[in-house]
């Protein structure tokens, strides 16, 4: 299984390490040619969504990735990656891939003091450690969206069809279960294809 990890800015190295521990092969995506490898799934890492959004356009990766997502390529977005996948960003005009019907609030816990750790239940996995860094949360989710985790009354993980998003960073913990969950989802999909 080959997973593309967007490697323009932010915490892509930790995602690559987690995927490799689970036996997946990884293609780092920095330019359009990197898509030639053919992908079974895609990870959009944390970082700064405005910067990643700008670099997606500058590298020409935005349009081909959007087409792959429209065609149903499984994708997992963490933090800034979740912002890039959301249909709406609260109080901001920008929309990037608009691949999942959620409204996200950026820096929802405050800019400076917004980093913390929690342990909470992820539906379908169980209790897991969650690391939040200037994280967004989901203020509203559309009818078809499955809420997977809630912390302090705020939605921090959601899934709809081929799209999985988390406010937190499992790649910064030793717990690989969310990545395993994403790979299982791809395997199940390929088994039915």
CB of 38 to ligand GLN, least distance (A): 27
Q: Does the protein bind ligand GLN through residue 15 (CB under 6 A)?
A: no
- Closer of 116 and 189 to ligand GLN (Cβ): 116
Tell me which stretch binds ligand GLN (CB under 6 A): 41-49, 123-131, 143-151, 173-181.
Answer: 41-49
The answer to whether 80 and 52 are in contact (CB under 8 A) is yes
In the set 15, 79, 159, 160, the catalytic residue is: 79
Comparison of 23 and 105: residue with beta carbon closer to ligand GLN? 105
Tokens representing 150 are 């809630």
Residue 6 touching ligand GLN (CB under 6 A): no
As measured in angstroms, the least distance from the Cβ of 106 to ligand GLN is 4
Binding flag, residue 2, ligand GLN (CB under 6 A): no
Q: Which two tokens mark 50?
A: 């405005």
| The two structure tokens encoding residue 71 | 């065609």
Quote the least distance from Cβ 134 to ligand GLN, whole Å. Answer: 4
- Give me the sign of the Cα torsion angle 188, 124, 108, 168: negative
Active site residue 127: no
Q: Which residues, 53 to 112, sit near ligand GLN by CB under 6 A?
A: 79-80, 83, 106-107
Among the listed residues 14, 159, 160, 169, the single catalytic one is 169
Is-catalytic flag, 154?
Answer: no
Q: Is 169 a catalytic residue?
A: yes
Among the listed residues 14, 15, 160, 171, the single catalytic one is 171
Supply the minimum distance, in Å, between the C-beta of residue 185 and ligand GLN. 22
Residues in contact with ligand GLN by the rule CB under 6 A: 46-49, 79-80, 83, 106-107, 133-134
**Catalytic (active-site) positions:** 79, 169, 171
């Amino acid at each position: 299984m080959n997973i593309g990890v967007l490697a323009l800015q932010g915490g892509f190295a930790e995602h690559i390490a987690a995927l490799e521990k689970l036996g997946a092969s990884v293609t780092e995506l920095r330019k359009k040619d990197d898509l030639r490898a053919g992908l079974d799934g895609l990870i959009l890492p944390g970082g700064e969504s405005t910067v990643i959004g700008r670099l997606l356009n500058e590298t020409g990766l935005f349009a081909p990735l959007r087409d792959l997502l429209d065609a149903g390529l499984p994708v997992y977005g963490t933090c800034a990656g979740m912002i890039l996948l959301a249909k709406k960003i609260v109080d901001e005009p920008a929309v990037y891939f608009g691949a999942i019907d959620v409204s996200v609030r950026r820096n929802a816990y405050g800019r400076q003091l917004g980093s913390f750790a929690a342990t909470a239940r992820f539906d379908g996995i169980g209790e897991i450690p969650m690391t939040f860094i200037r994280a967004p949360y989901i203020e509203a989710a559309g009818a078809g969206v499955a809420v997977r985790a809630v912390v302090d009354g705020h939605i921090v993980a959601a899934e709809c069809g081929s799209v999985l998003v988390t406010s937190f960073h499992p790649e910064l913990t030793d717990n690989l279960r969310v990545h395993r969950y994403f790979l299982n989802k791809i395997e199940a999909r390929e088994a039915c294809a």
